[in-house]
Each structure stands twice: as structure tokens, then as C-alpha cells.
Amino acid sequence: MATGGEKHGFRRHRPRAGQTVLSPVAVSLAPSEQIRSLAWLSDPALSELGLEEFLDELLVRVRDVLAVDTVAILLYDPETDQLVARAAKGIEEEVERGVRVPVGQGFAGRIAAERVAIFIEDVDHADILNPILRDKGIHSLLGVPLIVEGDLIGVLHVGSLTARMFDERDLAMLQAAAARAAPGIERARLVSAFEREHRVAMVLQRSLLPKRLVELTGVAAAARYLPATDEVGGDWYDIFELPRGRLGVAIGDVVGHGVRAAALMGQLRTALHAYAAEGHGPARTLELVDRFVQAMPEPAMATAAYGVLNTDTGLLTVASAGHPPPLVVRRDGVDVVDVRPAPPLGAIPYGSCTEVEVIVGPGEMVILYTDGLVERPAVPLSDSIDLLRGIVGGGHSAEEICRVAFDQLIPEGGPRDDVAIVAVENAEIPAELHMRLAADPRVLADTRRVLRRWLRAGGAGDQDTVEITLAVSEACTNAIEHAYSPAPAHLQLHASMVDGQARFVVSDAGSWRMPRGTNRGRGLKIIEAAMDEVAVDTAPSGTQIVMTRRLGR
Amino acid sequence: MRLADVQLTAAGRVVVARLTGELDLSNTANIGGALAENVPNSALAVILDLTDIEYLDSAGISLIYELREKLRARGQSLRLVIPSGSPANDALRLAGVSGHVVTAETVQAALAELS
């Protein structure tokens, strides 16, 4: 319970669960140190900063001047009548978790409702709503309202991890900081509605694009996205794994701009991904997304292209709904994929989509892009696409292609329309495989895919591929099961092909245990049945299993 | 991307469990657990449909044997649908257990056997 009051010069208004309400105090501090501190808080240089930097700098200064452990600013949201954590030092989680406090409740809520400074000596005995303050072990708190021209705009509070009697000078300084902060915040909040919408759309757009491109051995993917300079549109791209070592690559462009286009983009991207994951091919997937758009309460339209790349065979199946044609970068040139585009999504009831198949061989790349990349005033689209073909023609990797396309096609000062490009490269298949694998069962599926791809490239038929893959996966499984734990262990897989004979070596640093029980016995049986020769070599340094099989046996 | 998926449908008092995707050491424990847990006690039998399984090895074969034991303890029987030429069939053949397990070519055939 705060005993605070009198000896610190505070006047207590009315007691309430551990809180002491304080009267504002006049700033009448003589010691030169305090004056310097206050001058520091009202440094004119702060005015030059943007809101983020301004709050950041202000909080750091408040923390240092008052020698506290935490400082936070909560801003008032009139729509919900809540305070929202906006900036913090020491308890950044408050902002990260978007802490909201109803006005009138708890520590900050009461400061806002009653527009008074409140001091809490012991958080454990007070009415605190924000669990983070307790979790972080805050002991004492002091907070003041942020007021501009009579309107409450938020709350500024400081906290100490140890018991602390904040005194009159502390309060005076916090009030000075609040007086300095409030107009700056208000000014920054008075951004035009247009700017705010732009920012919201941008955040939405960013949050809806993939955070990380799929990591699939045998393919390399790269992508770029840039929103229009003055108005965010609804471009999107997506890359996702599908069953049987296939990769889905999608790109789209929602007609319209701003928050609505960005939100619609998010819906279409999700719908496309969901239909694709159901196993529908590219044409049917786009038809289903079209039906989804048709069923929306408000008219909407978008173009999109969607392709499925079989990473085993390099077969790309692709369909388009009113979207510019994909390109395939080959060793000797750049092909425009001749896919007849269906009407844009949402344009015509029951639009029908067709798909085409092209091979994207090892070392070749497929490129999808939005019209913002190629469209130029008064230039026919086919000429613009030829320009893009010329630019990407020299590219050696998906990453390089995205980079040069953006470097050379984005005009000075930024694009007028959203721009997106995604490139997927079917990687070269090496003559010999050397894989270092973590001793973790989750590596098995990916290892099998790499192996199947390598086997097909080496001329293995279906039966060879199925049986060899089984045997090698069993050998890896055995090494994983017997890996030394708990230290991270690895195993090596080496595969080579000489005169139609495939040879595999799986080695680990563990000791081979003769399979026990019927379960592991079956694994070894499979290996022996699938291979021509099997040798297990156990040495103190580790175990090696060597397997060979003649293709087409 | 999940490696495999389980879909259960009831056909009278028979549960048809359709597995898709790939079964290996990384997921057999979870799949086996999901199968045993989601089959109601009222079911008389389970048909494990491996028609659309793209990969299965000794870990998957163990799953079949273990599931059979679990079901048997509850008085329920297990029928396998493994078409000839399917990846699951290749694994059973190479492991030398084809002769020890009764399989049906289709779910319909397995249902007919049970009725």
C-alpha cells in the first residue's frame, strides 16, 4: 500500500486499491541537474524526427533522466475507448502484443479517465490490468496523462523493478516530458486520411505476402514485390509445396487500389492456395477462384496465373486468367509460354480456363510477373514482353533474374503500378550426389525426392526408381534411428552411377546395430531385396552401408 | 506441407481410413495414434485404404501390424486395401510379407468381404 503522500509533497485525492492519485505539481526545480535534464527533454532537435524516432528518442531520454527501468506510451483510441500500447522501452512486449486497456480501468485506464497522475508503490497490491507489468516484475509505477488542447490523447508511464517512492521532482519531470511529447504525437497523428490508408494498405499487403519462400531441394525460388509509389494495389505472389514433389507458383493482380484491393488480394491468395492444396490442377484451380470471386457480395476482378512444376520431371502445367504470359528462360533463349488466357477472375460468369504443359529442364527457369513490370504508356504489351525477355535472357539464377528485371524496368522514383515478379529455377542435377543429412526423420522425404530426381536423370525407370528409393530411405532410416543422441548427429549419403550401375553409400558416426525385432528386420530385408549387393562395414569411427544395383535389372 | 493425411469415413459400422501422401519414420507414430484414437469403439472393423499412398516402407508396415494389434485388443478387425502395383504393395513385396497379409484391391471389395 502506498503510504506516499505527505512526506513526498503529494496530496492524495482518494485512496483506491494501492493507487495514489497525485495533484499536478508546478515545475519549480532549482537544482541545475534537473534543469539540464528538462532542457534535454525539450531539445528542439526532437522536432526534426518522425513519430517513431521521436517517441523512441523521447522514451530513452525519460528513462535516463528518471533512472527508471521501463517507460511506455499508450495512445487513446476513441473508436474503442481503449488505450493502445504504442511505444515502450524496457517492456517492448507491451507494444509487440498490442496491449489494450479500457479507459477507466486499471492503472493507465484510470489516469486517462480522470486525467490525473497516479503513483503505485507496490504493483502486487494494486488494481493492474496489464499482465505484462506484473510478469516483468515491475514494482512501482508512476504515470501521467497526455493532453493536447484539453483532449486526452494517451498516457505516459514509467516503472521501476525495485520498490521506489517516486517524488515530486520525478513527477515534475514526467509531466514535462508529457507536455513535450503530446503535441508532437498529435501532429504526427494528423496525417491525412489518404496517407493513413496508404500505410494501412502497405502493411496489409506486406503481411499477406509470403514471409519466406519455400525451401525445396532441387529448386531455387526468388521473388520481388514493390507497391506503387502513390497508391498500393493488389499484386500478390505465392510459392507452395504440393504433394509428390510438386511446387505451386501463383501470381495475381487485383483490379483497384488501396486497402480494399489489398484485402481482396489476401482472400484470393488464400483461396487459390486452398484449392491448389486440394489437388486441383492449374486450370480448375483458377476456375474455382473465379467462382469464389463471382460469389463475393461486391463486384471484384483480378488477373492471375498459376503453374505447377513437377520437380522430378521438370513438367510445368500452367493456366492464366487474363494475366500476362509466363516466360521460360532456357540456355539458348527465353520462351513465352503460349497459354491462352481465360477471362480475368470475376469477369464473366462460368469462365473456362485451359492449361498448357511445358518442360522446364534442369538449369532452366520459369518467370511469372504482373503487368506493372512491363506495361509502358503507348508501348504494345508484346513489345514490353520482348524487352523483359531480353533483360532476363542473360540471367543465371532465379535471384539474379528478379534483381536485373527490377533494376532495369522499375522507373526512377518508383513504379506507377504495383510490380511483382517470381522466378523458379529447376536446379541442375549433379552427376554424383553428396548429401550431409541431419539425423532427423524429417529429412527422409526430401532426401527421397532428391534421389528420385537424380535417378531419373541417370536413366532409371519407374521400377528402378521406386525400389532403389525404398532401399536408400531404409538405410538412412536405420542410420537415423541409431544416431548418437542427444548430440546433433549427421549422416552422409553418396550416390554415383557407373556404366548403368547405381552405387550408394550411407555412412554415419554411430555403430551399426543388427536390426532387432521384426520391425527393423523388415528394413534390412527391403534393402537386400531391392539391391544387387549390400555390404555393411562397421568400424570404430562409424558405420557404412554400401549398396549397388544395375538399372533395368 | 504435411507429408501424409488421414481421412475417416463411416460405412455402417465399418470405418474406412483413407491414407494419402508418404508414410515414413517421421510420421507413422502420429498417424498410427490418430487412427487408433479416432476409430469409435462401436465400429466392428476398420478398412485401411492405402491405394493413394505414394510411399511406404518398413515404418509403415510396422504401423499396419501395430494397428492390427490395437484393434484386435478392442475386438475390431482390420482389412487392408492395397492394389497390386501400388507403392504400398511394392514395400510389402520387397519386405517379404505379402504372403502374410490379406489385402483387397478396392474398398468395395473389402466392404463386400466384411458384409
| Residue B57 in contact with partner chain A when CB distance is under 8 A | yes
Write down the pLDDT at residue A200.
66
Contacting residues for A102 by C-beta, under 8 A, at least 6 apart: A81, A82, A83, A109, A129
Here the cell at position A38 is: 528538462
Residue-wise pLDDT tens digits, B24-36: 999 999 999 999 8
The yes-or-no verdict on residue A514 having pLDDT over 80 is no
Model confidence at A446, pLDDT cuts 50, 70, 90, reads confident
Cα angle value A157/A158/A160 (rounded, 5°)? 150
Nearest Cα residue to A58 out of A89, A95, A35, A96: A89
SS3 A239: strand
Determine the 3-state secondary structure of A500 from DSSP: coil
Report whether pLDDT(A430) > 50.
Answer: yes
Q: What is the DSSP track for chain B?
A: --SEEEEEEEETTEEEEEEEEEESTTTHHHHHHHHHHHS-TT-SEEEEE-TTEEEE-HHHHHHHHHHHHHHHHTT-EEEEE--TTSHHHHHHHHHT-GGGS-EESSHHHHHHHH-
Q: Which residue of chain A has the CA closest to B59?
A: A519
pLDDT given for residue A144 in this prediction: 95
Q: Which residues of A touch B88 (CB under 8 A)?
A: none
| B61-107: pLDDT as tens digits | 999 999 999 999 999 999 999 999 999 999 999 999 888 888 999 99
Spatial CB neighbours of A213, under 8 Å, sequence gap ≥ 6 = A221, A222, A223, A239
Q: How many Cβ atoms sit within 10 Å of the Cβ of residue A51?
A: 15
Least confident of A171-185, A205-219, A393-407, B39-53: A205-219
B25–A444 CB contact, under 8 Å: yes
Quick one: A173 exposed, middle or buried, by C-beta within 10 A (0-12, 13-18, 19+)? buried
**Dist. CA A63–CA A173, nearest whole Å:** 11
B57 and A466 within 8 Å at the Cβ level: the answer is: no
Report CA dihedral (B25, B26, B30, B36) to the nearest 10 degrees: -20
- Report the alpha-carbon distance of residue A156 to residue A170 in Å, rounded: 13
Query: Which residues pair with residue A146 across a beta bridge?
Result: A154
Q: What is the pLDDT of residues A134-156, one digit of tens each?
A: 888 889 999 999 998 888 989 99
Nearest to A427 by CA among A404, A401, A445, A453: A453
Mean pLDDT of A217-242: 83
| Structure ipTM | 0.95
Of chain A, the percentage scoring pLDDT greater than 90 comes to: 41
Q: What DSSP line would sit under A298-319, residue for residue?
A: S---EEEEEEEEETTT-EEEEE
What pLDDT score does A214 carry?
59
Higher pLDDT, A249 or A243: A249
Please tell me the distance from the alpha carbon of residue A471 to that of residue A522, in angstroms, as a whole number: 11
A118-134: average pLDDT = 82
Out of B58, B61, B90, the one facing A466 most closely (by C-beta) is B90
| CA distance linking residue A508 with residue A488, whole number of Å | 12
| Residue numbers in A near B7 (CB within 8 A) | none
Q: How far apart are CA A465 and CA A460, in angstroms?
A: 6
pLDDT value of residue A142: 95
* Position A328 pLDDT exceeds 60: yes
Which residue, among A321, A401, A312, has the nearest Cα to A359 in the 3D structure? A312
Which 8-state DSSP code applies to residue A360? -
Asked whether the beta carbons of residue B65 and residue A518 sit closer than 8 angstroms, the reply is: yes
Alpha carbon distance A379, A414 (integer Å):
19
Is the pLDDT score of A467 beyond 80? yes
Q: Say if strands B4-11 and B14-23 run parallel, antiparallel, or are unpaired.
A: antiparallel
State the angle between helix axes of A32-41 and A168-189 in degrees (0 to 180), rounded to the nearest 10: 10
pLDDT, position A176? 85
pLDDT at A10: 45
- Average model confidence (pLDDT) for chain A? 84
pLDDT in the model for residue B38: 92
Would you state the pLDDT for residue A173?
Answer: 87
Q: What is the per-residue pLDDT for A24? A: 61
Q: CA–CA separation, A429 vs A111, rounded Å?
A: 66
Secondary structure class of A506 (helix, strand, coil): strand
What pLDDT does residue A22 have?
A: 73
Q: Does A474 touch chain B (CB under 8 A)?
A: yes
How many other C-beta atoms lie within 10 A of the C-beta of residue A164? 20
CA A137 to each of CA A162, A229, A371, B65: distance values in angstroms, whole numbers, following the listed order? 9, 45, 54, 54
Which residues face A439 on adjacent strands? none
| Residue B58 to chain A, least CA–CA distance (Å) | 5
Q: Is A334 in contact with A328 (CB distance < 8 Å)?
A: yes
pLDDT of A313: 83
Task: Supply A145's cell numbers.
Answer: 496523462
| Strand A219-226 relative to strand A419-426, pairing | antiparallel
**What is the pLDDT at residue A9?**
38
Highest mean pLDDT out of A89-98, A160-169, B83-92: B83-92
d(C-alpha A471, C-alpha A524), whole Å: 8
Question: For A540, which DSSP code?
Answer: T
H helices of A131-257, in order, are 131-135, 168-189, 193-208
pLDDT score recorded for residue A82: 86
The confidence band for A197, taking pLDDT boundaries of 50, 70 and 90, is: low
Closest CA to A365 of A334, A401, A328: A328
Is A519 in contact with B58 (Cβ distance < 8 A)?
A: yes
pLDDT at position A390, please? 94
Test B24 with A470 for CB contact under 8 angstroms: no
Q: For the segment A16-74, what is each residue's pLDDT rounded down to a tens digit?
A: 556 777 766 554 444 455 555 555 555 556 555 667 777 888 888 889 889 999 999 99
pLDDT of residue A213: 60
Banded model confidence at residue B9, pLDDT cuts 50, 70, 90: very high
CB under 8 A, 24+ apart: contacts of A372-380? A372/A228, A372/A233, A372/A235, A372/A253, A372/A415, A372/A416, A372/A417, A372/A418, A372/A419, A372/A420, A373/A405, A373/A409, A373/A419, A373/A420, A373/A421, A374/A324, A374/A409, A375/A417
Is the confidence at residue A515, as pLDDT, over 60? no
Say which of A466, A469, A526 has its CB closest to residue B58: A526
Of B81, B86, B84, B88, residue with least CA distance to B111: B81
- With CA atoms as reference, report the closest residue to A138 among A69, A80, A190, A187: A69
Is B1's Cβ below 8 Å from some Cβ in A? yes
Residue-wise burial string across A508-545, b where 16 or more C-beta atoms lie within 10 A, e elsewhere:
bbbebeebeeebbebbbbbbbebbeebeeeeeeebbbb
Instruction: Please write the tens of the pLDDT for every residue from A273-283.
Output: 999 998 899 99
